[in-house]
Amino acid sequence: MEKKQPNGLALLPIIVFLVVYLGSGIYYEYINPVEGGMGFYVMSVVVSFMVALAVAFVQNKDMSFDEKIAACAKGIGDDNITIMLFIFLLAGAFSGVASASGGAESTANMLLDIVPGGFAIPGLFIIACVISMAMGTSCGTISVLTPIAVNVATSADLNLAMCVATIVGGSMFGDNLSFISDTTIAATKTQGIAMKEKFRANFRIALPAAIATLILLVIICLRSSGVELGHFDFNVLQAIPYFAVLIAALCGINVFIVLGCGAILSMIMGLITGSLTVSSALSAMGEGTSGMFETMIVAILVAAIGALMKESGGFEFILGLIRRGFKTRRGGELGIGILVSIMDIATANNTIAIVMAGPLAKNISEEFDVSPARTASILDIFSCIWQGIIPYGAQLLIAAGLAGIGSITIVPFLFYQGFLLIAVLVSILFKRDKKA
């Protein structure tokens, strides 16, 4: 196979995307804010990537239009991209029917009902971790739990920003580790590995950060007076599907079977408890899959753009930069972390950041002898860290909107994200290394 010559201009499509998407986000968030909206979500990410794809097609005069189409088709038709798209559909169907059945609220209330009053904030963190692991979505978890956190903070006279930040932190824990999370799907499929491989590599870093966060929250609670949380209503049957999916995924059962059975089980429990009818369950599944369409289209567009950039020497150019800046496997891992961090800060979407950085990260991992599981873990961890910190990201904006506070006020209390950053940097900088 002919080696591509490094070409910095081949990266122009991504630069154009960042200018269009980030520029519009800054304009509508800070210069000309949209009332009641989120500025970084005014400009469709799909439209921004379409502009970038048009730029990619205009470049590289050495390739004919038909050759460029063939390159795009090869990139889009990659086995891992196809599997990722199918998993997105199933994950959407499960999430839609499980949420509509009332499973998320019941699971949260059931866990909150057994939390001692004096440990309300640590309890909220654990509940957010569990719910997000089961749901596979940080935004969904935040939407469900933030109103509960507001009620707890108000009734118990707790720091509202800290309670909300605790929910965000726990939500990012599950988003990072869940087998059915968009980020896990994107990270594992761009690297061509099984989800359980990434989970093992990821868990060794995320668990110490979660434990450190929990200890800090317990210390904070011990220094304050105890509170009474009261009773929360729940239905155990509605919570069963989430726990079943979580346990089945941890057991290593095929993700297609897990999600398919999870959707069916959620529908059955919804029918038994009366929270769903057959028609509403089918509608919820449809809405859930529809909610994944934008992510799927982005995955297709990014695969096409990436294929064209690779053909034009863009990947070789980035590899050359990393080779000059880093000489060891440790450096390669840092390079992957920096790459996906920049993508996430720029796009304010951790799934898109991983889809964009994934193909490049795979090349870097092969160059610097970083295992695919380790690469997928680093991609997911760094993207979730920044996605859970940036005040213009969907997670903090949703949390702030539901709580009626500014997203900036939440940032100082994002303890988990800080500990996770420390944990991943320690795992990279103090890991036994060898020359690449």
260-292 residue pLDDT tens: 888 899 999 999 999 899 999 999 999 989 888
| 296 domain residue, yes or no | no
User: Last residue of a domain, which of 290, 316, 351?
Assistant: 290
Co-location of 156 and 220 in the same domain: yes
Number of domains comprising the chain: 2
Q: Which amino acid is at 132?
A: S
At 231 the pLDDT is 65
Whether 3 is covered by a domain: the verdict is no
Cite the DSSP H helix spans in 39-159. Answer: 45-58, 65-76, 79-100, 103-113, 120-135, 138-156
* 97 and 199 belong to one structural domain: yes
> Taking a C-beta distance cutoff of 8 angstroms, is the pair 81, 189 a contact?
yes
Domain check: are 242 and 310 in the same one?
Answer: no
Residue 436 lies in a domain: no
Mean local confidence (pLDDT), 235-253: 81
pLDDT confidence of residue 215: 95
pLDDT band at 302 (very low <50, low <70, confident <90, very high): confident
48 with 168, same domain? Answer: no
Q: Are residues 285 and 400 in the same domain?
A: no
Question: Does residue 2 surpass a pLDDT of 70?
Answer: no
> Could you tell me the sign of the dihedral formed by the alpha carbons of 130, 135, 136, 141, in that order?
negative
Asked if 123 and 232 sit in the same domain, the reply is yes
> Which residue, chain included where needed, has tokens 């205009």?
58
Same domain, residue pair 20 and 90: no
Contact 431/330 with Cβ under 8 angstroms?
Answer: yes
Secondary structure letter of residue 5 according to DSSP: P
Q: Greater confidence, 109 or 369?
A: 369
Residue 300 within any structural domain of the chain: no
Q: Is 64 helix (H, G, I), strand (E, B) or coil?
A: coil
Q: Do 16 and 105 sit in the same domain of this protein?
A: no
CA-to-CA separations, 207 to 21, 193, 204, 271, 426, in angstroms, rounded: 34, 21, 6, 36, 14
Mean pLDDT for the chain overall: 85
Same domain, 338 and 391: yes
Judge whether 269 lies within some domain.
Answer: yes
- 2 occurs within a structural domain: no
Say whether both 105 and 239 belong to one domain: yes
The percentage of the chain sitting over the pLDDT mark of 90, rounded to a whole number, equals 27
pLDDT of 234: 77
In a domain, 275, yes or no: yes
pTM reported for the whole predicted model? 0.77
Q: Which is it for the CA torsion 32, 35, 36, 41, positive or negative?
A: negative
258 shares a domain with 122: yes
* Both structure tokens of 99: 């949420």
**Considering the domain boundaries, does residue 343 fall inside one?**
yes
- Which residue, 255, 290, 325, sits at the end of a domain? 290
Q: What separation, in Å, do the N-terminal and C-terminal C-alpha atoms of the chain show?
A: 22
Q: CB of 134 within 8 A of CB of 248?
A: no
Domain extent, residue 149, equals 81-290
Q: What is the pLDDT of residues 192-220, one digit of tens each?
A: 898 889 999 999 999 999 999 999 999 98
Residues 226 and 352 in one domain: no
Q: Which of 267, 290, 313 corresponds to the end of one domain?
A: 290
